[in-house]
Structures are given as structure tokens and as C-alpha cells.
Amino acid sequence: MKYVYSFVEGNKDMKEILGGKGANLAEMTNLGLPVPQGFTITTIACQNYYESAGRIKADIVNEIILNIKKLETNTGKTFGQGKNPLLLSIRSGSPISMPGMMDTILNLGMNEEVANSLIDLTQNPKFVYDSYRRFIMMFSEVVKGFPRDIFESRLEEYKVARNVQKDIDLSAEDLQSLTKDYLKIYEALNKKPFPTDPTRQLLEAVSAVFRSWNNERAIYYRKINNIPNNLGTAVNVQEMVYGNIGTNSGSGVAFTRNPSTGENELYGEYLMNAQGEDVVAGIRTPSPIQNLQIQMPNVYQEFQIYAKRLEMHYKEMQDMEFTIENGKLYLLQTRNGKRAPKAALKIAVDMKEEGLISETEALMKLNPLDLEHILHPNFASIDKLPIAKGLAASPGAAVGNIFFSAKDVILAQNSGLSPILVRMETSPEDIEGMNHARGILTIRGGVTSHAAVVARGMGICCICGCEEIEINIDKKELYLKNGTILREGDLLSLDGNTGNVYLGELPLAENKENLELEKFLTWADSNASIKVHANADTEKDCIMAKKLGAKGIGLCRTEHMFFETNRIFSFRKMILAKTMPERVKYLNELLPFQREDFYKLFKIMTPNSVVIRYLDPPLHEFLPKNEEEKNTLAQALNISKQELEIRIDSLKEFNPMMGHRGCRLAVTYPEIAIMQTKAIMEAVILLNQENKTISPEIMIPLTSDQKEFDYVKKMIEDTANKIMTDHHVKIDYKIGTMIELPRACILADQIATTAEFFSFGTNDLTQLTYGFSRDDSPKFLKEYQNREILEIDPFKTIDQKGVGSLMKVAVEIARQERPNISLGICGEHAGDPESIAFCDEIGLDYVSCSPYRIPIARLAAAQSKIKQSQKKI
Amino acid sequence: MKYVYSFVEGNKDMKEILGGKGANLAEMTNLGLPVPQGFTITTIACQNYYESAGRIKADIVNEIILNIKKLETNTGKTFGQGKNPLLLSIRSGSPISMPGMMDTILNLGMNEEVANSLIDLTQNPKFVYDSYRRFIMMFSEVVKGFPRDIFESRLEEYKVARNVQKDIDLSAEDLQSLTKDYLKIYEALNKKPFPTDPTRQLLEAVSAVFRSWNNERAIYYRKINNIPNNLGTAVNVQEMVYGNIGTNSGSGVAFTRNPSTGENELYGEYLMNAQGEDVVAGIRTPSPIQNLQIQMPNVYQEFQIYAKRLEMHYKEMQDMEFTIENGKLYLLQTRNGKRAPKAALKIAVDMKEEGLISETEALMKLNPLDLEHILHPNFASIDKLPIAKGLAASPGAAVGNIFFSAKDVILAQNSGLSPILVRMETSPEDIEGMNHARGILTIRGGVTSHAAVVARGMGICCICGCEEIEINIDKKELYLKNGTILREGDLLSLDGNTGNVYLGELPLAENKENLELEKFLTWADSNASIKVHANADTEKDCIMAKKLGAKGIGLCRTEHMFFETNRIFSFRKMILAKTMPERVKYLNELLPFQREDFYKLFKIMTPNSVVIRYLDPPLHEFLPKNEEEKNTLAQALNISKQELEIRIDSLKEFNPMMGHRGCRLAVTYPEIAIMQTKAIMEAVILLNQENKTISPEIMIPLTSDQKEFDYVKKMIEDTANKIMTDHHVKIDYKIGTMIELPRACILADQIATTAEFFSFGTNDLTQLTYGFSRDDSPKFLKEYQNREILEIDPFKTIDQKGVGSLMKVAVEIARQERPNISLGICGEHAGDPESIAFCDEIGLDYVSCSPYRIPIARLAAAQSKIKQSQKKI
């Protein structure tokens, strides 16, 4: 087993054992770039360290010493001794970049003797003691864990005494004296003197890096990012080059492109006469990289060439560290640079157009979720602390006045305000108000609660489950933890990307049309196999869906149509009617509205497909909750309020999710499905009169059995046939079903004998497969994630092992029965990249998500296909 | 295709085409018994009749006429003409015995000419006109559907005019005159004269029988009994023999054994000078069959021999019809006789001991569900009409005083009354009261509601969902539909077998120990493969379970233990505690109770197995609902009632069935599972001190994932290990899980890697697979059954296609992973014979049902095994 690789032995594909930093140092070395020589101690050595109860095995020590010897030979220096002493930089580097770990020790190998040799060699005692004191401080902090500020404050004392601002203004004598002080401080804290033996220094540093793999911050980071705990970190040991050796030296960091805007220009900063840590520490203000062009034009030009070369080599924007030692440029690190979502998009598009990368490579450069930031408004800057934090339920940013009811929100919006709706939770009767709000804030509920789902569908910023806040709806007051009371109309700013709530007004960034995005998504479409449809219930939704690239409507939920002010009343009367003729009467009042709804939708969407789901939620969701509405309704029905309440009560259910809903409504109240069928058919006839047409797809929800499906299908067909006969027309339509019960998956072949299409309703399927109520589970699911029992939130990403297995079975047996059956998915998972990839793999034809998720889905669809074809190769 | 079979051509195994009656007539003919000759028109002819739009095809008519010719040859008579005319009896007979169909036309072929010939032949005009008038009436009723009472009242007029009591006391002239009247009535109703052509009479009668297959009553009967609609009925055409030809003639019915008691004795009755219909019509009082021994000793002896022969031949108690014509005995029908459950048991045991049938044959003779009637009290007689009807939720009969709260029931029982608990529905906090009630009546809820499940578990009579009744709990009043108001203490009688509710007191039958039952069930056990365990939570349950033959406890629900008066308070404080140490404090108060519970159970059950399920229901189920209890609790917790209510509210869930319950409680509140583990281990230690021991099986409910199971398993093991170490003992125990989520079925192999046993919780599994809330679905499931969308109630009998598929998968993959895993089922289905057979087939090791279902389950288990081995042959 080989535990140590010199840079010439490695390459960029060896990240797993060399870590990211080590692999790239090796790659640059082999590209012939000026990298200080060195070697990498592998992650396997780190794993071995943990297996050996925190000791570095003798053969690993030997390998390290062997590599030091090689380094001495190659550099002509001797490690920690002699006339030309070799000092080392020690840096950690794990396979996956992560914060929290011990980072860097510079100038290792230093001691009194070395210092004297270096003074002899450089005639620069100031540089030497500057390096020495830095080493002691870093070693103390990193290896021993002594607080850095003890050292920093002693440095401050010297600066005060000498009345200087900057470290570099201290004299050589000051720094020598400071070094002595540091050694004393170390000895006092450690009860033993500072180690002078360079090899001991080295081995202690290596152990410290290994130990830092398991410090609290690193463990926490790995946990929240699902990084395995057993990877381990590598350690890079490298010859020191000195940016602090004089005014002809310096250190800097730079990107090959602008990470904020994506512009194709060098972007970065540097400090002369400084070591790398000074650039980021902010003790002096660095200069922008462009200044180097004037200050050291040759170095700048050389750097530019290296930067381009690295970008072309890695086909990715690079983030580099460099040091200039006496006018000579060294590269200390390169890695793929982090960038803002908008920059990432521009860079991907530019690189493709520059011919640097292919279309598929460009498509793989963006995380689909980053498109959210591009699509939604964001704060230009955030200059205050949040007053509360909830769940980031729907992205974007909103600034507005708070209101505590849907009705008040509508009034406020009509009078020109920007309302933010604040509720304990929302319910379907709040829909109209939600549509008028700039943002939504709820106290209860998870990222899949009603508020969250609806807000995402509408593209409105939403924060859910913000339990730090309390509200009193009746008093129209909001209570902050610190005792502050906010009242109706007060200003809040919501950040739907983070879940942060801010008091008052934050500035919103401008949101311009993004031509790059359109180009990029066109590439995505031509590289994807699974299609993207939209969930859309209104004209507004449909227009947005079309604009964002939906190929059809995969889910039009008809229930939302009944909540509008002029309809809900008839609908309520229908629900509470005692006889079928009464119900039919009230449904006839609703028919013109429903017909008009469909007509408008069809007109926008033709010739694309529109899938209409029949009434799904339990009827009691539509009934009034407040006293005033109850009174009005009782009067209209000519019954006492008490009787009304008894009737409302009799519709209540213990577990409404599994109650009288879905096609169970169509079975028990056929007149509802019949009215909806009439509305659809008559809407098509209206459209025909304008010489347009469409083939509507009728979707029956919550099917559990073929017989049940057939029962409802027949009543739809009978109604459609009658209308077609009456109007002497032939309308092309399909009848299919949601697959959202475990039983429907198991019996999908039987259902497919008569159902012409399926759409997986994975929200409900997840609830039932797991027995997790979506509304109630956030409380305990959080604890499940904390305890690492659940790796993913199954309401966010499809649980492939459980829910996914059922889907797979359903797809297989349904296609056996009806090979050309159209298979889709609608609901939350359809906008989640990982879930989209799964749907693509099991062979669904389309995903249908809320309009604002369409760009994400389009990109995810392309990436899934690209990954699959890469796997095949 | 052959449509008609003469009796010599058929046999008892041809029921499907000859119908039950026809097949048995053929069988008797071939046994050489005195059966009037004839033939059977097959069910296929009936099916053909419907396929031919209600016409009898020509080739079928020809076959019928051919068989009439044969009959003429064999009898030496001519059909409906000549000196020795042949008259016929026409009787329907479908493959499955069912009421509602047209039954019988006697004396067919009669007309004026035939009447005269018969008078010449018999010199008995009274007999002839008696036969003639009967024929006209039956033909009018059966073929034409004219109301029988028009004819009956004319007969009455004659009897009044002649001042006689009985039909037979009318003179020949009266009967001749009556016949003429009948012909006139027929003509007036029919607008056409009575048909005189015998062949036309016959074909009209055959068509009428065919038509009667689809009359409303027959359709309804088939629907509620799941009999396919396409079977069709056969028609039996048979030479008339005349019980009404004189005092040396007669008709009767008899059973080979007593159908009420099972005694091995002829049981039946007969009427001299009568046709068969008179015996059942009740116009004269028939004599008991034993009288025939004196009246016609030879005929009686002959009949006795035939009866024994038929019973031995069919190996089954027979129900026979016979006619004596001028001293000669004819058998007209034999079939397996219906009998009371207690008689069925005695007959099965007797026949086996007489050597008539084998042990397995005896076991197949009883419907397992009939054992309920044997085990539970029943009414001796029912002499009034029910005042309301609900669902027969738990069998047995109860007479008692009504009370409207659990508390009042307990008080009433303590003061010597027999209380009946009347509630809208019950909840877990009513358990103690339910246990003190004689019977339970609820207004809402189905046969799988809380009240029903608990009552069955306790063996208490229960009627659920009795929506015809309204109650006001506060006023303690019960309102009948007719306006009657009942008050606390008033008497009601409940019949849990039928769901009927009676006002006042009905007499209860005596319930003696049944030695036959014990013998019978011992045979069952030795013929069964799947074992029967009990669901039992209390000492009382365990004693009953053991007495009824349970081989162990398959489900001990620990939650019921916390509802007792002296515990619920600590438990509530625990639930509402804000910190873990507080919760631990209150749990420590409960530990001694729980330990004592387990100790008592273990002591009764050792050495049999006891499976203990950890706390399962959502915690809010335990919280107080009434104001008084809330006040007490708030005081104890030292918080305001308002705060208490807020805390209670915060525990409420939208869909509690899928909420924070099952092992989710153990994950989030480990201290509860730890307390329960302590209680179990310490109980075993107590038992050990008495030199007894047991290996408890700990069952984790609602597992969805192996990681989740392992998390809880580890906390149990850690606790157990600590106790074992502290007490220096080694306790043998197992940890397994309920499989009640679809996901758990799909991932059963993974779960089986660490779970040592499984018990299928098919109640919840059915809820989730179907998405049917058990509490909410009865409303729409009833409509589903009415519309024939659902064939079975999936909460009563396992849905094999859906839920069963998941179970099968789970069994297969779990056994692959852990071949010796113990697999069982607990819950309602475990007491349903059809479901038990399914569990046996898929290879479960045991079913665990409520104590009172154990005998049923034992028999069902045996029958399943017997059927399987029969299939294999």
C-alpha cells in the first residue's frame, strides 16, 4: 500500500485518495506550471490513522521521511537545518471540499537555527522573524488548539507601542522580540517548550490535520451535506515560497471569470509583501488583480496565460491561489470556482459558444435548483439580521405590509398596497387571497403544507412553519420572540430562499429578462427525453406555464375553481343539499363558470394537451369556517344555523386524507362528475366554433380498483356521448387516472386495461406508502433527519426504495397491458431534479410541475438523459 | 348440446347444469329409491333462453317433447289426455339454493277432458277438482303473476257458505264450482281463456321458471350473497303423485336428525289427504312425523330406511319431501338440511363418532362463524319487532339498562344493574366502562370502529352505526324514530348477531358448557397447520384466551393499560411535560403498574409466548376531553387551563392515523420505550424468583424502515443489557415488528435482517393500501358495495389482490433473508375465516385474534389446511 504520492506521481482524477487540492497540485505540476514541489499524504493514511487509534503507523512515517529526502534532493535545500533550509507548507485537502477542517500551517521546519541560516541567506531578518512568528501562531492554533487571539493581541500591543498601523511596519527587532514572546506564550500554555525538531513539527501537524477531519464543525457539515464520514482527508506537504520576503513579493487569489456576473475577465486581488493568509484576513486592503498589470506586467501576463490554460484544461472556471517570490510567480492551488447562479448560467452559455465545451457539457454545469434564484426576485443586499427563521418553502424575496386574512390581503392589494399574508396555516379557501399576496408567512406547516405547495405553484415567495413567531388572528397582531408586537400594515421582508424574516424593508434586486436562460433551456429540451408539463388551474398559470416552456398542462385541479367568491356559495349549497335534484340545481349554477374556465384554458393551450383532474378534496374543505359566512349560508338554505352546523359536523372526518374524496365523490355524487364532463365537452364545442380544437384528457383521482375506475368512466362516457349526439359533433377525448394509492400501483395492469393514461400522484403515494401524514409529519420527520434515520425528506425527493419500487412495478405491468399508455407524474416531486431523474429512468413520458419549476425540470430532464447516456458508454 | 336429462341420466354431481333439486332427484332415482319419474331441463337451457331474448329455442322444445314421450312410455300414461292421463309437477331448481324464485306448479296438464278421465279412473271427483283448482291458482300466480289472494278469498267464500273450517271439508260439487269460478277469474284478468293445451301449459310454465331467475327478489338475494347472475335455473318436470287422493294419501317433510338440537332422530311433519304445499301453508296443523309410525307403520318404517340410506349416501343430514299416494311412499326431494349452529356441531361430532364421516369431514361440516352463536348468549325467543337496526358489530345478546357515559356504566354495574353503554361512538378513554357493560350501542361507526373492535375483543355484544336512533348525551336521552324518548336506566335488548335493537326485555337462552365443542376444536387443532394466538391486554383476557385454546398472546396492546383510573393521570402529565427529565419522572410513576401488568400476564401465559407491542396510538388520544378533567390536570401541572388547552391543541393532528404514533413515539420520546423495556425485564425477574420464566417478544409498531427499527431496537437492547447486568441475570427475549405500512412490506427483507419476528397489522395496512380511513370509510364503502364496485369489505376480509399481494411479497423476501423468521398476523382479519385461509396459504405461522374469535380461528385454520390438502390430491 502506497500512502504518499509526490506531485509528479498524481493527477486530477485521483481526488479520492489525494483530495481535491492534492490532485490539482499534481495536475498542475504535470502541466508544467510553476508549482512549488511537494507531495501528498493520502486519505488512506488518514483512514489508517483512525483505524490505528490515532497514531501514524511507522511505515507511513517512513514514507513521509523518504519523500522529504526526495524534496531535499530536488530543491537542493535541507529540511529544517543547514545553510539553505527547506521550510514547508502543510495543507489539508479532502476529496470533497468542506469548511471546518484545519487548513494551513506555513513555514514549518522553522527554529532558532533555521532562522539564523535564513538571515544569513536572505539578509532579511524582518522576513525571517515575520515567518517565524506566523509559524508559531499557526502551529499553536492548529496543532494545539490554543486561542489565536492571545497571539493576535500581543501583536497588537507591539503595533500600539510602535504607533504603526500595519504588521509590515514593525521592525525586524520587533518581530524577533514578538517571536520570543510567542515561544514563551506557547510554553506557558503547553507546559512544555515549542518543538524544535522539524520532523516532530511535521508529524504533529499531519496528525492535527487528520484529527481535524473529525472536529465538530466538520462532522456537522458532512451530516447536513450527506458526505460519508469515512472518506478522510489528505495532507499536502509543499516547499515554502515566500510572498513576504520583500516588496517584490506577494500573494493573491483570482478567478478566471467574474464569479458574480460571469463576465469573461480575470477577477481577484493580491497583496504585496504578504503571505496568503493576509489576503483574506483583511489586515490590509488588497488591490484588484488588474493593478498587477501595471505593477508587475510580466508576472500579470504570465498569470493570464496560466489562467486561460487551466480553464481550458479543466473546462471550468478556476479559482486560483498564487504567490510571487522575488518577482517569480508560483501557483499554489487551483480549483473549480464557486459562482452566483446568474454567473454560472452565463459562463456555461459563453463557454459553449466559445467552443470550449459542448452543449451537453454546458448543460451539466448548472445545478437545476440554481435556476430558482435566476427566476425569482431576490434582495439586492441584506444589511440586517433576521428577526425569525422559518422553512424556505417557496423561493424569491418579498417586501410588503402584513395582513392576517385572505380577504384583507385582497382589499389591501386593490388599494395599492403590497400585502404579505400571515396565517397559522392556509386552507383552500385562502387561495384567492394568496394569489393577491406578494409573499406568504405561516406559523405552522412544512415545506409540503398547503401554503408551500400553493405558493410554489403561484411562484410567490413563502416561508412556512415559522414557529418562532406567534400571532393572534382576531387581534391582527404578530408577536416576535423579543416581545415586539407588529400590527396589520407593518412592513416585513421575506427571503424565501433562506426562510429568513426581516423587519422593515430590504432592497429588491432588479429582475431583467434573461436571454441566456432561454438559449440554455432550448439546448436542454433538445437533449432531454422526458417532457415537462405544468400544473396550472388558471389562465394566469397557463400563460406563465407556456412562457416558461411547458409542453402541455399535466394537471389542472378543478377544485380551486370553486373557491372564487362568485362560485363558492353555489358550491356550498350543493354540498349541503339533501337530495340529488337539489344538488343538480346548484351544480347547474356552476356549470357556466366551469365551462368558461375550461374554454379559456383550452384556448391558451391548444394544440397542446390539457389533463383535467376531477374534483378531489373532501367536501368539508369547502365549507365556511367563520360565523358570518355560516349565517349567510344558513339563510340561503333556509335552515337554522344550528342545523347548518350539524350538517357541517356530519361531514367532518377523522382522517380526511383517506376519507370521502377523489373519485369516491364521483361514485357517491355522480352529478358532480357529470357536470364537470358537460363543462369540458361544451367548452370544446365553443372552441370548435372558432375553428380551433383540443383533445381534453380527463383524469379520475384516487382510483383504487379497475371496477371503480370503470364505474366513473362509464358515467363520463354516457354524458359525453349524449352531448356529442345532441350537438352532432365528435369530440376526441381520453379518460385516465391518477395513480396515488399503493393498491393502484399493485393493480396498475388491471386499471390500464381501461385507463388510457396514468399520472402518478406521488404526494399521496408517499403519504400512504410511509403512513406519513404530510401535514402532521414535519414535526417528527425533523427529528428523524437529526437522528439520521431518514436521509431524504420523502416529500421533497421520491423515496426510490419504497415509493419508487411501487411506481416501477406499476410502470412495468401497465405497459405490459397497454404498451402505448401515456405515463406522467404530477405534484411536488415533479419539480425536484433527483426525482425527475428517477422518473426518466423508469420511463415516464412526462413530469408535470408548477409553472415556476418548469425551467428547473427542463434542465433536470436534460441532465438525467445526459447522465444516462454517459453511463451507457 | 343436450338441454334435457331424464332422471336416470343424471347424478348428484351435476348440480351446475341440473340444479340442486334435479341432481338429487337423479341421484335418488339411481339409488333405486321410489321417485316419481321425470326429467330436468338444464340451466344451460335457461341461459339460452336469456341469450335468445326470452324465447325457448325450437330444439329445446323438441327435446322437452321427446322426454314427455319417454315419460308417457315409462308410466303408461298420456300427457294431458286419454283414459290414464299424465299430469306433471314443475319445479325450479338452481345450482345454489335461493329463495325468491318461482317454485312449483302441480297438476299441470289438467283441463276439462283430463278431469273427466281422472274421475272415471279414480271415481274421486273431489280429488280431481281439488287438483284442478290448485293447478289454476298456481298457474295464475306463477305464470301470469295474478295475485293469489283473489283466488284464496273465493275459496274462503265457499268455506263460509258451507260453514266448514278446512278445504277438505268442501264437497266435490263445491270444488267443481270453485274450479269454474277460477277459470272465469283467470279469463277476466287475462282477457283470454285459460290454456287447455297441455304442451302450451308446460312451455308457459317452463318460461315462467326461467323468467323468475331474474325477478327482483332473486336478483337482490344473489347480490347480497355474491351469487353470479349468469348461472341460470334448471326446471324439473316430474310425474304427479297425489297426496290429496284420499285419507290413505298424504304429504310431508322430514329431517334425518333434529335440526334444532342435532339429536339423531327423524324430525318432521305430515298431513294426510294433502298436497305438499298444504304442509307448509299452515291451513291445517300437520302431525309430527312420529305419528306416522302409528298411522301407517309400514310406510314409516320404509321412510326410516330411506332416510338412513340417504344420510349415509350423502354423509349429511337430509331434508326430505315425500308423498304417500294410496299407501305408497314416494320421495319428491332430498337435500342437505339447514340446522341451528348448535345442532350442526352435535351432528358433526355424532356422525364422526358413529363412523359415518371422518374427522376431517366432520371439521368441514361447520361454518366457523357459526361458532359465534354457540359461544355467545342468544335470545331464547324474539316475540317483538325491532325498534331500530344497526350494524351487527359484535355477536351475542344483551339485556340491560341504558347509560350514556362510561362512568355511569361503571357506577351502575357496581350497584348491581346490567348496564348497556350508549354513545355516539367510543374512544379509548371509554375502555374501562365498556368492560363493565353488558352491551354497547353506538350511533356512528362501522363494524371496524373502535367500539366494534374493542367489544369483539371483550366478547361483549355490540351494535354500531345505529343511525336511526338519535341521542343527547348531556340530557341523557335517546330518541327513537317514532318519537319515543328513552331515559337513563330504561331497558333495551340488543341482538349483536343481527344488529336489531328491541325495546324492553327479551328472554336470554341458557348457555351451558359445550363438551362437543371442546372435542371438535381438539380435532381442529390436530388438523391445522397455522397456529392460533390471542390479542389480550388484561389478566381477564388472558384467562379467557387460554380457556378458548390460544397457544400464546400474539398481541398485547400496552396503551390500554394506561387508561385505568389510577394511571391515566400520570400518563397525561407525562404527555404534557415540557422536558425529558419531567417525562421520565412521570414515567417512573407508571413503571410499577406496567411491571405488575406484565408480571401477571407472564404468570398466566408461561410457558407460551407473549408478544408485547410498545405504545402505538397518537398521544392526544389520551388527553382529557371534558372540562372537569382538564381543570384537575391544569392544577396538577400548575398551569392555567388556557395554557393546557393550547398544549392539547398543539398535539392535534389532521390525519392522526398517519401521524405521530407507533415507533415514531419511541424515536422522539425514547424514555417511553425505555420505561416499557424496564417493566418487561423487571417482570421477568420477578417471575424468575418464583422459578418460572418466559421469553418476552417485544414488538415495535409502525416500522417504515430498517434504520428506524434498528434505532429503537438499540435503545431497547441497551436498556435490557443494563438491567441484566445490574441484576446479574440473563433474560431471553426477542425484538420484532409489526408490518403495517406498505413500505414495510416492500422493504421486509431489509427489516428482517435485524427484526426477529413480524406480525402483519392488516388493519392499518388495509387503510394505507386502499387509502381508506377505517373510521371515515363506512359511509362510502356501503355505497361501493351497493354499486357492486367492492365485492368484500376489505376491513372484514383481507383484500387478497391488493393488501394480500403486499403481504405475499413481504413473506417471500423476509424468509429469503431470515428463513426461520416467525410470521403472524394480529388484528381484525385474524378472526375472519377467509382471511385465515389466505394467511395459511401464504405460509404465516400464526394468527392472533381476540379471545372470542379463537374457536372460529381454530376451525378456520383446520378447514384451510384440509382444503389445501384436498386441492393437492
Give the CB-side neighbour count of residue B9, counting CA atoms within 13 A: 14
**pLDDT grade, residue A102 (50/70/90)?**
low
The larger pLDDT score, comparing residue B382 to residue A667, is at: A667
* Cell, residue A52: 490505528
Residues of B in contact with A775 (CB under 8 A): 653-655
Put simply, whether B802 touches A (Cβ < 8 Å) is yes
Q: Measured between alpha carbons, how far apart are the two ends of chain A, in Å?
A: 31
pLDDT 10s digits, B141-193: 999 989 888 999 999 999 999 999 888 899 999 999 999 999 999 999 999 99
Rounded to the nearest integer, the mean pLDDT of chain B is 93
Q: What is the pLDDT of residue A511?
A: 66
Positions of A annotated as catalytic residues are 450, 826
Q: What is the pLDDT of residue B282?
A: 64
Sequence-distant (6+) residues with CB within 8 A of A564 are: A432, A593
* Cell, residue B791: 365485492
Q: What is the pLDDT of residue A281?
A: 67
DSSP class of residue A285 equals P
pLDDT 10s digits, B776-834: 998 899 899 888 899 889 999 999 999 999 999 999 999 999 999 999 999 889 999 99
- Distance from CA of residue B801 to its chain's centroid? 23
Put simply, whether A711 touches B (Cβ < 8 Å) is yes
Percentage of chain A exceeding pLDDT 90: 77
pLDDT 10s digits, B844-862: 999 999 998 999 999 999 9
DSSP-assigned beta bridge partners for residue B225 = none
- With 90 as the cut, is the pLDDT of residue A319 above it? yes
Min CA distance, A319 vs chain B (Å)?
A: 40
Q: What is the pLDDT of residue B235?
A: 96
Q: What is the pLDDT of residue B260?
A: 83
Question: 3-state DSSP call for residue A410?
Answer: helix
Sequence-distant (6+) residues with CB within 8 A of A520 are: A345, A348, A349, A362, A363, A366, A859
Sequence-distant (6+) residues with CB within 8 A of A691 are: none
Sequence-distant (6+) residues with CB within 8 A of A873 are: none
- With 80 as the cut, is the pLDDT of residue A213 above it? yes
Sequence-distant (6+) residues with CB within 8 A of A672 are: A574, A583, A587, A614, A615, A665, A666
Cα separation, A190 vs A180, in Å, equals: 15
Q: What is the pTM of this model?
A: 0.83
The identity of residue B354, as a single letter, is E
Min CA distance, A806 vs chain B (Å)?
A: 8
* Cell, residue B199: 304442451
pLDDT 10s digits, A707-752: 999 999 999 999 999 999 999 999 999 999 999 999 999 999 999 9
DSSP class of residue B177 equals H
Put simply, whether B741 touches A (Cβ < 8 Å) is yes
pLDDT 10s digits, B584-635: 999 999 999 999 999 999 999 999 999 999 999 999 999 988 888 899 999 9
Which of B664, B749, B762, B791 should we substitute to test contact with A (largest number of A Cβ atoms within 10 Å)?
A: B664
The larger pLDDT score, comparing residue B229 to residue B707, is at: B707
pLDDT 10s digits, A173-209: 999 999 999 999 999 999 999 999 999 999 999 999 9
Neighbour count for residue A648 (Cβ, 10 Å): 18
The identity of residue A104, as a single letter, is T
Cα separation, B619 vs B656, in Å, equals: 10
The identity of residue A118, as a single letter, is L
DSSP track, B332-386: EEEEEPP--HHHHHHHHHHHHHTTSS-HHHHHTTS-GGGHHHHHS--BS---S--
Cα separation, B29 vs A790, in Å, equals: 73
Report, as an integer, the average pLDDT of A8-14: 95
Report, as an integer, the average pLDDT of A414-427: 91
Interface of A with B in 627-666 (CB under 8 A): 653-660, 662, 664
Q: What is the pLDDT of residue A452?
A: 84
- With 90 as the cut, is the pLDDT of residue B341 above it? no
- With 90 as the cut, is the pLDDT of residue A123 above it? yes
- With 90 as the cut, is the pLDDT of residue A313 above it? yes
Residue A291, classified by CB atoms within 10 Å of its CB into exposed (0-12), middle (13-18) or buried (19+), is middle
pLDDT 10s digits, B468-508: 899 998 899 999 988 899 999 999 999 998 899 999 999 98
Neighbour count for residue A2 (Cβ, 10 Å): 10
For residue A800, report the phi and psi dihedrals to the nearest 5 degrees.
-65, -35
Among partner residues A654, A768, A799, which is closest to B776 by beta-carbon distance? A654
E-strand stretches of A587-638: 609-613
**CB distance A660–B775 less than 8 Å?**
no
E-strand stretches of A36-155: 38-41, 78-79, 85-86, 88-93, 104-108
- With 70 as the cut, is the pLDDT of residue A329 above it? yes
**CB distance A773–B658 less than 8 Å?**
yes
**pLDDT grade, residue B101 (50/70/90)?**
low
Closest by alpha carbon to B155, among B145, B138, B167?
A: B167
- With 90 as the cut, is the pLDDT of residue B678 above it? yes
Report, as an integer, the average pLDDT of B316-345: 93
Report, as an integer, the average pLDDT of A801-811: 98
Interface of B with A in 686-705 (CB under 8 A): 702, 704-705
Contact by Cβ (8 Å): B556, B613:
yes
The larger pLDDT score, comparing residue B578 to residue B858, is at: B858
Percentage of chain A exceeding pLDDT 70: 98
- With 90 as the cut, is the pLDDT of residue A293 above it? yes
Among partner residues A747, A767, A799, which is closest to B802 by beta-carbon distance? A747
Residues of A in contact with B662 (CB under 8 A): 771
**CB distance B708–A805 less than 8 Å?**
no
- With 70 as the cut, is the pLDDT of residue B100 above it? no
